[in-house]
Chains A and B, each alone.
Chain A
Amino acid sequence: MRNPDFPVDASVSSAERGDPSALRLVLSDDWILESQDETHVTVANTATAARMKLSTAAYQFLKAFAKPRRLDEVVSPGAMAGARAQVGKLLEKQLLLDADAPRADRALRLRTTVPYRFCNAPAYTAASDFVVLGVPYDLAGTVDCRGAPTAIRQKSLDYLYRMRITDGRPNGWFDANRETWILRGATLADAGDVYVEYGEDQSELFGRISSALEELGEGAVPVVLGGDSSVTYAVAAALRRRGPLTVVQLSAEPVTAPASASEVFGTDEVAARLLQLEGIERFVSLGAPTTSSASLGDRVMLYDVPTLRRAPLDTLACDWGGKAAVHLSIDLGVTKPEYLRTDEHGASAGLSQSELRSIITALGRRHRLVGIDLVGLDTRSGFAHLSAAVACDLALTAMDASRGHDGAKR
């Protein structure tokens, strides 16, 4: 089995291609003509999302490479210098390719643009405190959640990311429940979705998730919108390379089945698979309605709802040390009506919204939240719109918790 957090190969840079006039050049199979007017066209590579605006003359030049040709077969010697520069850009965008080089057997595209950005934050271009990344993948389980990143982002437009008029810094939001400002000054960007090619090997996608997170840098807290809970595995596998990592999952249905022998694993194996990775210190599951009989060793800790209600989380968290680096995964299955319905005493089988928020806040006080994911939103459920609202609320709560109890930036 291929290492699932092995980075995808970066595309070859133009500098490595050498002098383009020595190559036989050909148009990429993935190019499209996106738009055209009287003077210009826009062409794009659908595999990489690269775009170029070209003059009509440059477009005619590009089309000359429909079949493999050398540059001197297309332009006169006097125009060669200008043509070399143009070809360099087209090679850079992978609209033109070296016809004799081995072809990539898969798309090199890491991320795709999305119709809505989380909270309408700017598209990711530079370092920010939080970077949102969607992973619309749901082939490891039975829940239909590939549309969840879009559903959550669309709902997040109720929580627009705004700047203060006075200083141009992020305004944050007002948490009416706690009557306090959150995320003031915290910068947020949306890096779109990881490109998912349905049918490819699972490990290929997980490698791409790792590469995307690496590309976004270590300075930001990633906020990953799944996808099913196998996405948690891919994200934690990438984050553990930054240091020892505890994975905490808020879930009504702990993913603690033993690891199977299969290369492809299901959502219920996430804990067992994670603990096979070096650098994952423990897996903590919070919020099952009743005690699980699962036994995966002393590095898996399960706290069910009655236990959490008896003992404050600050006490429980002592069991696994202070200031651990924590990746927090929120399985949105916790929003299922059967877990939230209350009995005659007003108690729900699962954690209430208020309890979920309290636990997340307490985690942030005691530990360092270095990554956040939200997985398992069932878009076919009649409650999908509610789950998306809960997801936005908990995502912002978790982001605030990652800044520590005093709201200071880490």
Chain B
Amino acid sequence: MEWRNEATTSSGDDTSQSLFGWPRAEEGSPRARIEVIGVPSDCGNGGASGARFGPEAIRRASQSFRLEVAGVDRGDVEGVHGHDWAEVLVSAQHEIERIVEGDAIPIVLGGDHSISYAAVAALRRHPTLNIVWFDAHTDFCAWSGGRWHDHKQVLRRIAGLGHVGRILQIGHRGITYFDESARSNKMTVMSANAARSAPLESVLEPLPEGEPVYISVDVDAIDPRLAPGTGHPVPGGVSGELIEQMASLIASRRRVVGLDVMEVNPLLDHRDTTSALAARMLAAVAPHLAPFPPSE
């Protein structure tokens, strides 16, 4: 699987836009502190199709932001639509590993949330990696242990990775089958209600200083009236602004070694409000990533 470098194409359409107008990466070109990769896949979402257009929509929405921090956009992982899901996961993991091996911080654009597994697996160089998981759901459904998983099972599989330490889940709500907050000893659940009322700094408490953090944002953590473009909306979510503030705080106080935004579904969006919120959140957090070295 190779990088697909849209900068080498001359189509000039929206798909050739890069995140924040960052330069496109050529094979062998200089690396940057932050490197973007898109995984335009719906394979892990059995309920609603359309998240595969998420990377394109987020990049398009990001054009209104110009950041001081440097980054490059490596385009999308190729072959997503021509391979089985298990192969796509492995390929995405390899692509993200290439970013990590270059001491860059990956920003992964989804795609459905199951992709986040590939990113966390690619960061296994960190002996203890803590996870911050913004999501309306805990994504802890039963997983049979095969080579692939769906977006409802992804955090359960991630929790089983040896290098994963603590998990802070933020935004859980709604009517569910069981008390999902008690599914793992590693996991602390901050419900949407709790997130709204708790002091902002409380998100730092479960994340020991000095330990690296991966932040994953499923846009369905945001209330669907604000972010309607997602496949499994749950009423009563938090604001996009709160996620921005929490993620920015974590990125400024902890060493964030990777970040993703998942489940933006432009087919269900209204006037691109959801992709705009996703781009805005990335624009708020990205400047906080640079001060910390990506590896020790």
In the complex, which residue of chain A has the Cβ closest to the Cβ of B192? A177
- Say yes or no: A177 contacts B177, CB within 8 Å: no
List chain B residues, Cβ under 8 A from A158: 47, 232
User: Interface code A327-345, partner B: CB below 8 Å = 1, 0 otherwise?
Assistant: 0000000010100110000
- Say yes or no: B193 contacts A162, CB within 8 Å: no
Q: How far is the CB of B168 from chain A (nearest CB, A)?
A: 16
The CA of A115 and the CA of B265, in the complex, are separated in Å by 26
- Say yes or no: A386 contacts B224, CB within 8 Å: yes
Of B176, B179, B192, B234, which is within 8 A of A389 by CB? Answer: B234
- Say yes or no: A337 contacts B270, CB within 8 Å: yes
Quick check: is A366 within 8 A (CB to CB) of the other chain? Answer: no
The dominant DSSP class at the B interface is: loop
Q: Which of B172, B175, B192 has the most CB of A within 10 A?
A: B175
- Say yes or no: B268 contacts A393, CB within 8 Å: no
List chain A residues, Cβ under 8 A from B224: 386, 389
The CA of A159 and the CA of B234, in the complex, are separated in Å by 12
Of B47, B193, B225, which is within 8 A of A177 by CB? Answer: B193
The CA of A382 and the CA of B191, in the complex, are separated in Å by 28
Given contacts A337-B270, A354-B236, contact A182 B175 (CB under 8 A): yes
The CA of A390 and the CA of B228, in the complex, are separated in Å by 12
- Say yes or no: A176 contacts B225, CB within 8 Å: no
The CA of A174 and the CA of B223, in the complex, are separated in Å by 20
Quick check: is B235 within 8 A (CB to CB) of the other chain? Answer: yes
The CA of A173 and the CA of B236, in the complex, are separated in Å by 17
Within 8 A of B (CB), among A299-340: 335, 337, 340
Q: How many residues of B contact A (CB 8 A)?
A: 26
Quick check: is A260 within 8 A (CB to CB) of the other chain? Answer: no
- Say yes or no: B176 contacts A174, CB within 8 Å: yes
- Say yes or no: A383 contacts B270, CB within 8 Å: yes
- Say yes or no: A176 contacts B270, CB within 8 Å: no
Q: How far is the CB of B60 from chain A (nearest CB, A)?
A: 19
Q: How far is the CB of B237 from chain A (nearest CB, A)?
A: 9
State the total of A-B contacts with C-beta under 8 angstroms: 72
In the complex, which residue of chain B has the Cβ closest to the Cβ of A356? B235
The CA of A382 and the CA of B270, in the complex, are separated in Å by 7
User: Interface code B217-239, partner A: CB below 8 Å = 1, 0 otherwise?
Assistant: 00000011100100011111000
User: Interface code A155-182, partner B: CB below 8 Å = 1, 0 otherwise?
Assistant: 0001110100000000101111101001
The CA of A115 and the CA of B48, in the complex, are separated in Å by 18
The CA of A340 and the CA of B232, in the complex, are separated in Å by 19
Of A176, A357, A396, A397, which is within 8 A of B172 by CB? Answer: A176
Q: How far is the CB of B151 from chain A (nearest CB, A)?
A: 13
Given contacts A353-B236, A354-B236, A386-B233, contact A177 B173 (CB under 8 A): yes
- Say yes or no: B175 contacts A386, CB within 8 Å: no
- Say yes or no: B225 contacts A389, CB within 8 Å: no
Residues of A within 8 A of B (CB): 158-160, 162, 171, 173-177, 179, 182, 335, 337, 340-341, 352-354, 357, 382-383, 385-386, 389-390, 392-393, 396-397
A-B contact pairs, 26 of them (CB 8 A): A158-B232, A171-B177, A173-B177, A174-B176, A174-B178, A176-B174, A176-B175, A176-B179, A177-B173, A177-B191, A177-B193, A177-B236, A179-B179, A179-B191, A337-B270, A340-B225, A352-B236, A353-B223, A353-B235, A354-B193, A385-B233, A385-B268, A386-B224, A386-B235, A389-B235, A393-B174
